[in-house]
């Protein structure tokens, strides 16, 4: 449709310079044709009278094979030919000469049309980029033979038609052109633009010249048709009816009808079909199909189909235009009403405008901290306030400036909270919130003591590392409470955008400052306690490296002038106290770890978990569930079983979840039993009311009967199948056990007409623990009560704490020279290397102890680490592997209740390992009495608390021969 618009505009511009007297045009338009009369009814009286006529109309009309007897309009055209020729002889603007006739053109220059075909009776501007072709057209016009053949270019996949068509010559160009085209008159040539007027249909027969392409053509005539055929009449009237619908919606089509009837004359059936197709917005393939069809009826049907599509497109266009117009008008109306409302309020003094109110708000914020705001920040604020007054409230820059001022003025410049450096108070708070962790608490108290002497508590970035659930975040919260600082926590796990740390530039849409600036605005002080959680899980994406951005944030030497990208003014973060948490410090980048002081929290042993569950978790959970202490009794055996069989991890988070699960079930049962007691109480009251009228003896009888019914119903409630948990409830009764409170009264008090109280108490013990939390998840980590040959217990460290790890070896195949080692258990590269080293060391020791043995040389050994679905890797299994191989080779089991850890060199030296506390806790949990540690880890073991070391026989070794003597001793 856009192409139709451009052609229409150019079409009318071409027509304007060529005018004829009104007498000539009247002879063209005065016609009695019914088609013309139908279309003339659409013509608006506002259009100017026709005054232009083209002499070729007579030729076009006479060339129609179907219209041998010309219509009245055509006769009028022929009658006016004389006047036209006279006018052409006088006026220099006449286009067509009287010497050369169109039907004499049998050899024409082929002009390619890239976009759409040219129909007879229509104008078309064409840009000719081929200089030779343009020169040939100009020569034809100069030689008074201003005709060319206009042929549509065929579509080629993956090609630009306009760009490539003029690069083709001769037969290649001919193959790209449709055979059927239009004889076109060259009306004018202006630069490389040629104005064409279509006359009649042509068909290419053969090529005459290659450059420019010249072809021989045959003139095509429409097939004969019956003008009185009812089908043709019906189809033509339907076309006219469709034109009527389109003309009511589009002024462009109305202009086409006006221009066509002015310059061409009346409509007959072939012209009607060509007219409808030419002004439609169909694609060029469909238009070429109309041009090639010589059957008038079929051409009318094709045109009707194209015009019906135009009607549908016009309807959709109207719908879209109407929707957009309604939306725009509604927004304009709302905007005008809002502006009027603002003006009215301003005149009445009810409200100031937006800029004045905003400026007043920002000024009020500044006045509160005017003496504390740094000069460079104050200067920026004043400049932005001045800029805000000059901007329009509706502009986007106004919103950017307003948000920027909002952040600048909302920050707590120079506002600090009063710190409390009372060490005894901090000790009390830490003991209230956490049990154990004496080494961690001691380090924190040292930190607070230094802060008291210095007057400030910054300068160090402390990192709390340990498994999940050991209380790293809650320790940070306790420190903030002890120091009387505002607490702010944000997690950086998975953070991959540097802008989250340093802010976005204000040039971005939706820009915001970084997390620390948001923190300062949120807490309202310039010295908060900031806990950066999961710092070992920092991501790294396309938006930069956040770990590197954290350096400026955390480094005490740099953060005094921290520059946020959004604020673009230095901020003093030196008074902020930063604490970090991590599970594995090895994942923290080295430059960042270098600026931290790491405090390790290894986890809790069973005794510590029991105290934490009793003193902290159980009490807190009971209060959160709304249960009174006298309603529940939680035995130590139940807690111990819960810890050992359900919650073996290093932390206590899962233990808290299990306790919460138990108390939720207890709360549900208490509510159900309370509802049952209320219903029984109502029934008892009704029974009393009935018996009150009778004698007292009858009342006692009814009351006893009610008590029996109460006991029976309570017993039924306890055995109800719909209850989700089988919990032992003990109701108050004169014969109840001593585990519950006895508030029963003597039976003689029944005479006083008092109803006995029913008090429930839930006992959670080791025997009924499965009713609350299901079957045990863990079983004993010790797979073997008596260690068999080739099996040794090792100690391993994981992110969840310590654990025991068996290493098993067995002989698969024996034969001379078949010595080999097969490894399984999803071992990492480090443990695979350890196994190879262990085999080498074991062969050397076996050769020393039993020189005649050829076990390793003649045996294929299979070494396996159980739990093959779990990846295992680490430098601490060497000595365990050697011991397992020697046990298999010498057929001697190792000492009972022995566990070991340590890496071995090829010379038998034992290297130090990590995670001493975690491994000690794991060994103690498995009932191990004897532990072997490298001698270099003696210092780490000595730092453990006494309750962890209690009951353990620990040996520190430097060479593997000491382990051999210990593991294979005769004791």
Q: Residue 598 in contact with residue 465, Cβ under 8 Å? A: yes
Catalytic residue among 761, 917, 919, 924: 919
Angle at 409 between CA 404 and CA 412, to 5 degrees: 125
For residue 834, the SS3 value is: helix
CA atoms of 47 and 35, how far apart (whole Å)? 20
Q: Which of 488, 557, 547 is nearest to 518 (CA)?
A: 488
Q: What is the DSSP secondary structure assignment for residue 735, as one 8-state letter?
A: T
**Tokens at residue 665, please?**
């079930």
Q: Which of 186, 106, 168 is nearest to 132 (CA)?
A: 168
CA atoms of 185 and 197, how far apart (whole Å)? 5
Q: At what angle do helices 2-15 and 251-263 cross, to 10 degrees?
A: 40
Q: Checking DSSP bridges between strand 791-798 and strand 801-814, what pairing results, if any?
A: antiparallel
Q: Which residues contact 95 (CB under 8 A, 6 or more apart)?
A: 18, 54, 55, 146, 185, 187, 188, 197
Is it true that the peptide bond before 462 is cis, omega within 30 degrees of 0? no
The reply to whether 466 sits in an annotated binding site is yes
The reply to whether 809 sits in an annotated binding site is no
Question: Which residues is 804 bridged to in the sheet?
Answer: 795
Q: Residue 708 in contact with residue 687, Cβ under 8 Å? A: no
For residue 148, the SS3 value is: strand
Q: At what angle do helices 284-292 and 296-348 cross, to 10 degrees?
A: 150
Q: Checking DSSP bridges between strand 898-900 and strand 930-934, what pairing results, if any?
A: parallel
The reply to whether 467 sits in an annotated binding site is yes
919: annotated active-site residue: yes
Q: What are phi and psi of 681, to 5 degrees?
A: -65, -40
Q: Residue 662 in contact with residue 772, Cβ under 8 Å? A: yes
Q: Which of 299, 73, 98 is nearest to 201 (CA)?
A: 299
25: left (phi over 0), alpha (psi -120 to 50) or beta: alpha
Q: Which residues contact 154 (CB under 8 A, 6 or more apart)?
A: 176, 177, 178
CA atoms of 113 and 224, how far apart (whole Å)? 29
For residue 797, the SS3 value is: strand
Rg (CA), the chain: 50
H or E stretch covering 964: helix 960-967
Q: What is the DSSP secondary structure assignment for residue 959, as one 8-state letter?
A: B
For residue 458, the SS3 value is: coil
Classify residue 544 by burial, with Cβ atoms within 10 Å: 0-12, 13-18, 19+.
middle
Residue 343 CA: distances (Å) to CA of 337, 340, 402: 10, 5, 22
Q: Cβ–Cβ contacts within 10 Å for residue 357, how many?
A: 11
Classify residue 233 by burial, with Cβ atoms within 10 Å: 0-12, 13-18, 19+.
middle
The reply to whether 470 sits in an annotated binding site is yes
The reply to whether 473 sits in an annotated binding site is yes
The reply to whether 697 sits in an annotated binding site is no
The reply to whether 468 sits in an annotated binding site is yes
DSSP string for residues in 568-615: -SEE--TT-EEEEEES-GGGS-HHHHTTEEEEE-----HHHHHHHIII
CA atoms of 665 and 673, how far apart (whole Å)? 12
Catalytic residue among 61, 876, 884, 887: 876
Give the residue ranges of DSSP H helices in 143-188.
Answer: 161-164, 170-176
Q: Residue 115 in contact with residue 160, Cβ under 8 Å? A: no
Is it true that the peptide bond before 533 is cis, omega within 30 degrees of 0? no
How many residues are listed for the chain in this entry? 971
Annotated binding residues, written as ranges, equal: 466-473
Annotated binding residues for ATP, written as ranges, equal: 466-473
The catalytic residue positions are 876, 919
């Amino acid at each position: 449709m856009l192409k139709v618009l451009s052609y229409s505009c150019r079409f009318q511009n071409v027509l304007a310079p060529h005018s004829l007297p009104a007498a000539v045009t009247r002879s063209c338009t005065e016609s009695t044709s019914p088609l013309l009369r139908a279309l003339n009814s659409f013509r608006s009286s506002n259009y100017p009278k026709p005054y232009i006529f083209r002499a070729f109309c007579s030729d076009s009309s006479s060339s129609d094979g179907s219209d041998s007897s010309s219509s009245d309009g055509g006769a009028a055209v022929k009658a006016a030919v004389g006047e036209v020729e006279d006018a052409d002889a006088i006026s220099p603007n006449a286009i067509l000469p009287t010497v050369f006739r169109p039907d004499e053109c049998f050899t024409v220059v082929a002009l390619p049309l890239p976009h759409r075909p040219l129909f007879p009776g229509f104008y078309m501007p064409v840009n000719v980029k081929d200089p030779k072709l343009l020169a040939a057209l100009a020569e034809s016009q100069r030689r008074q033979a201003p005709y060319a053949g206009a042929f549509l270019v065929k579509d080629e996949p993956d090609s630009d038609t306009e760009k490539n068509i003029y690069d083709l010559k001769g037969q290649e160009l001919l193959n790209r052109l449709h055979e059927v085209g239009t004889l076109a008159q060259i009306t004018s040539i202006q630069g490389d633009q040629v104005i064409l007027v279509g006359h009649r249909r042509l068909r290419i027969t053969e090529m005459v010249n290659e450059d420019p392409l010249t072809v021989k053509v045959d003139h095509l005539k429409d097939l004969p048709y019956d003008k009185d055929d009812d089908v043709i009449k019906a189809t033509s009237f339907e076309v006219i009816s469709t034109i009527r619908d389109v003309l009511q919606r589009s002024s462009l089509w109305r202009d086409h009808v006006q221009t066509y009837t002015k310059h061409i004359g009346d409509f007959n059936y072939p012209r009607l079909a060509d007219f409808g197709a030419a002004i439609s917005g169909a694609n060029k393939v469909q238009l070429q199909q109309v041009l090639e069809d010589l059957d008038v009826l079929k051409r009318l049907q094709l045109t009707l189909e194209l015009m019906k599509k135009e009607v549908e497109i016009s309807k959709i266009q109207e719908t879209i235009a109407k929707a957009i117009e309604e939306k725009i008008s509604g927004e304009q109306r709302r905007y005008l009403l809002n502006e009027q409302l603002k003006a009215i309020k301003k005149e009445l003094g009810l409200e100031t405008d937006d800029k004045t109110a905003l400026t007043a708000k920002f000024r009020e914020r500044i006045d509160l901290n005017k003496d504390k705001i740094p000069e460079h920040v104050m200067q920026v604020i004043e400049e932005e306030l001045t800029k805000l007054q000059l901007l329009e409230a509706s502009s986007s820059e106004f919103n950017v400036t307003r948000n920027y001022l909002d952040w600048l003025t909302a920050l707590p410049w120079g506002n600090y909270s009063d710190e409390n450096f009372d060490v005894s108070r901090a000790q009390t708070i830490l003991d209230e919130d956490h049990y154990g962790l004496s080494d961690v608490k001691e380090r924190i108290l040292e930190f607070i003591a230094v802060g008291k002497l210095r007057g400030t508590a910054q300068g160090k970035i402390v990192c709390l590392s340990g498994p999940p659930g050991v209380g790293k975040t809650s320790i940070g919260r306790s420190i903030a409470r002890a120091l009387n600082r505002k607490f702010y926590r944000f997690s950086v796990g998975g953070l991959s955008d540097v802008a989250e740390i340093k802010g976005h530039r204000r040039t971005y849409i939706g820009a915001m400052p970084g997390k620390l600036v948001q923190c300062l605005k949120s807490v309202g002080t310039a010295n908060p306690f900031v806990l950066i959680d999961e710092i070992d899980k920092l991501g790294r994406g396309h938006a930069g490296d956040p770990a590197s951005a954290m350096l400026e944030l955390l480094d005490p030497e740099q953060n005094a002038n921290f520059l946020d990208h959004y604020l673009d003014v230095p901020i003093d973060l030196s008074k902020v106290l930063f604490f970090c948490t991590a599970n594995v410090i090895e994942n923290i980048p080295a430059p960042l770890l270098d600026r931290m002081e790491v405090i390790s929290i290894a986890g809790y042993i069973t005794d510590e978990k029991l105290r934490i569950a009793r003193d902290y978790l159980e009490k807190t959970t009971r209060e959160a569930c709304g249960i009174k202490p006298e309603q529940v009794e939680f035995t130590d055996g139940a807690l111990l079983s819960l810890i050992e069989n359900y919650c073996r991890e290093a932390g206590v988070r899962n233990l808290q979840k299990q306790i919460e699960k138990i108390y939720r079930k207890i709360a549900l049962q208490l509510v159900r039993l309370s509802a049952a007691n209320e219903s029984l109480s109502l029934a008892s009251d009704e029974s009393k009311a009935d018996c009150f009228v009778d004698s007292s003896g009858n009342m006692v009888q009814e009351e006893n009967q009610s008590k029996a019914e109460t006991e029976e119903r309570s017993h039924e409630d306890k055995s109800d199948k719909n209850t989700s948990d089988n919990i032992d409830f003990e109701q108050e009764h004169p014969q109840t056990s001593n585990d519950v409170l006895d508030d029963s009264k003597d039976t003689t008090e029944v005479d006083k007409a008092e109803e006995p109280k029913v008090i429930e108490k839930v006992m959670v013990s080791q025997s009924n623990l499965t009713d609350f939390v299901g079957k045990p998840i863990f079983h004993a980590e010790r797979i073997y009560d008596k260690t068999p040959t080739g099996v040794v217990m090792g100690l391993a460290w994981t992110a969840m704490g310590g654990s025991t790890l068996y290493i098993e070896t067995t002989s698969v195949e024996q034969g001379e020279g078949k010595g080999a080692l097969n490894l399984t258990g999803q071992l990492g590269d480090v443990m695979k290397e350890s196994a190879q080293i262990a085999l080498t060391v074991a062969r050397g020791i076996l050769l020393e102890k039993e020189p005649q043995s050829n076990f390793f040389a003649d045996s294929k050994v299979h070494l396996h680490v159980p739990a093959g679905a779990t990846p295992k890797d680490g430098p601490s299994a060497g000595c365990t592997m050697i011991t397992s191989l020697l046990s298999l080779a010498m057929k001697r089991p190792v000492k009972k209740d022995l566990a070991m850890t340590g890496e071995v060199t090829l010379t038998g030296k034992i290297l130090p390992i990590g995670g001493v506390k975690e491994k000690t806790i794991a060994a103690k949990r498995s009932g191990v009495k004897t532990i072997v540690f490298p001698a270099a880890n003696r210092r780490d073991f000595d730092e453990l608390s006494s309750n962890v070391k209690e009951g353990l026989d620990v040996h520190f070794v430097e060479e593997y021969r000491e382990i051999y003597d210990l593991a294979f001793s005769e004791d």
